[in-house]
Amino acid sequence: METLLYIALAPIVIILLTIYIKDKYEKEPVKLALTGTLYGIIISIPITFTEKYITNFAPNENSIYYPFFISFIVAAFVEETYKYIILKFLIWKNNNYNEPFDGILYAVYISLGFAMIENILYVFNPIIGGLYTGIARAIFSIPAHAIFGIYMGYYLSKEKFLKKIKIFSILVPIFIHGIYDLLLFTKIKYSNIFFIIFFIYITFISIKRINKYIKISPFKKVN
C-alpha cells in the first residue's frame, strides 16, 4: 500500500519541485503555487461528473467516431477547459503573474493537482491498478499532464505579455491532449510507435518552451 502511494505521488512531487526550481529569477509565492494545486485537486470532482454526463452522448463503442469522442470531447475538452478556467481565475489579474514563465508554472501546478487524484484512483483501482499501472503512469501520464499545462501556460503568457491570439491557450492543450489519448485508445496498426514518437516530440517542445521563457525573464538582469 505504501509503495503504491509513493509511486502514485513521487513523480508529481518531483515535477512540481523541478518547475519551481526552474523559476530561478523571481520566485513565485509557494502558497499561491500550492493553491493552484489544491484547485486542481478540487476540480477533479466536477470534471468526473461532467465526463460521466457527456459520455452518455458518445457514439456506439464500435463506431469509428467513438475513440475521437472520448479522446477529444470527454477527456481533453472537459479536463483542459476546467484547468483553463481555474488558471485564469487564479493568476490573470494577480500581481505575481509578472513574467512569461509564471504562466507555465501555475498551469503545471493546477494540472498536476488534478493528475494527483486521477493517478491515485488509477493506481489503487482493484481491476487495472497496481505496480505496473503506477510505473506506466509515472513514465507517461503524469509527465503528459504537466506537458498539457506547459502548453497552456506558454500560450496564456503570449496573450498577457505579447498580446497574441487568446484562443490558443485553450485550443492547443485540448488538441495535444486529444491526440495523446487517441493514440492510446485507437487500435490501428503501429499506434504504439506513433504514441512514443508523439510523446517524445511534445516533451522536447515543452522543454524548449520552458527554457525560452526562463531566458527572456525580465528579472534576469537584476540578478
- Is the pTM for the entire model greater than 0.85? yes
Phi, psi (rounded to 5 degrees) for 53: -65, -50
CB-neighbour burial class of residue 182 (10 A; exposed 0-12, middle 13-18, buried 19+) = buried
d(CA 219, CA 9): 32
Grid cell 528579472 in the structure block, residue? 219
d(CA 160, CA 176): 22
Residue 161: pLDDT band (50, 70, 90) is: very high
Q: What pLDDT, on a 0 to 100 scale, did the predictor assign at position 222?
A: 53
Question: Letter for the amino acid at 53?
Answer: Y
Pick from 36-40, 56-60, 97-101, 134-138: least confident: 134-138
Torsion of CA 35, 41, 42, 45, to 10 degrees: 170
- Listed by start position, the domains of the chain span 2-27+72-215
d(CA 134, CA 142): 10
Q: Are 216 and 161 in contact (CB under 8 A)?
A: no
Q: What pLDDT, on a 0 to 100 scale, did the predictor assign at position 18?
A: 97
Q: Tell which residue, 82, 91, 94, 12, has the closest CA to residue 40.
A: 82
As a whole-number percent, the residues of the chain with pLDDT over 90 amount to 76
Question: Letter for the amino acid at 136?
Answer: A
| Rg value, the chain, Cα | 17
Which tens digits make up the pLDDT trace of 174-207?
Answer: 999 999 999 988 877 788 999 999 999 999 999 9
Q: Are 55 and 86 in contact (CB under 8 A)?
A: no
d(CA 167, CA 100): 17
